Amino acid sequence: MKNILICATVFLPSLFAIPIDPGSADGPSAEDAKLLQVYLDKFFPTYFKDGRSLQERLREMQEYFHLAVTGKMDKDTLNVMKQPRCGVSDVSERHKATRIWNKQVLTYRINNYTPDLPRSMVDKTIARAFRVWSDVTPLMFQKVFRRADIEIFFAHGAHGDNHSFDGRGNVLAHAYFPGPGIGGDTHFDEAEKWSEYNKEVNLFLVAAHEFGHALGLSHSNVAGSLMFPSYTYSKPQFFRLPNNDRQRIQRLYGKYNQLNKSQ
């Protein structure tokens, strides 16, 4: 099965379906209106010519993020759109197609390193991010130096997968759902300033989120969940996988089994 990030279908004429007043001091600017179009096309796209208008998709986005469902651009909506986040689409329930790995031991390879952190720290952080998931499922992760199930890259802009990064801020990283080829691969935007703790963007928190996608999890709109689309900092040394994420990954792979892992 072809593995893709859910991508955008652009309908520029629908830009004007949303009430805007670029001349109003309190209203959205033309730049904000463009942001709305790009954001909805990327994260709440239309599928199979389903005919949903831009305003309908805006309402869907507002409902997803627990905002007032007005179908209009307001400050709260724009604030959400401007938050740093994952590059994977917030796919509607009716469009979700769950894919999982059919094996228990998965390999990963770190193909390059960010200069923002020591290599040893990147290795340690990536391993810890995988343990978030192996601690609650039968899955095990093994670092290798050959072709792996999950290939990890730090990259700038266009990096060969038709899903270019956009520079500092906005999209931080993206990952592909399980499968052959690019399936499971995880890419981090090198334009970000990656950190061990709370300066700029925390690598552990983003990696743990993206590896959730690499294992088959879509986004969750449960506030506080690891798989929530927008990036929110929390102290990584105190991180515990929220119940919502634990239950979802265990529905895919089952619960942690010490006996199986010790064999």
Residues with a catalytic annotation lie at: 210
- Is 66 among the annotated ligand-binding positions? no
Q: Closest Cα partner for 227 from 243, 125, 78?
A: 243
Is 227 labelled as part of a ligand binding site?
Answer: yes
187 is in an annotated binding site: yes
- 213 has binding-site annotation: yes
- Residue 216 to residue 256: CA distance in whole angstroms: 17
Do the Cβ atoms of 48 and 30 come closer than 8 Å?
Answer: no
Rounded to whole angstroms, how far apart are CA atoms 82 and 75?
10
Please indicate if the annotation marks 76 as binding a ligand. no
Instruction: Provide CB contacts within 8 A for 184, sequence distance 6+.
Output: 101, 106, 149, 150, 151, 175, 176, 177, 178, 214, 215
Determine if residue 167 is labeled as part of a ligand binding site: yes
Return the SS3 of 131.
helix
Cβ-based burial of 183 (10 A; exposed 0-12, middle 13-18, buried ≥19): buried
Residue 219 marked in a binding site: yes
Q: From the CB of residue 75, how many other CB atoms can be counted at a distance below 10 Å?
A: 10
Q: Helix, strand or coil for residue 126?
A: helix
Query: Is 166 flagged in the annotation as binding?
Result: yes
- Sequence ranges of the binding site for Zn(2+): 86, 159, 161, 174, 187, 209, 213, 219, 227
- Sequence ranges of the binding site: 86, 116, 149, 159, 161, 166-167, 174, 183, 185, 187, 189, 192, 209, 213, 219, 227
- Sequence ranges of the binding site for Ca(2+): 116, 149, 166-167, 183, 185, 189, 192
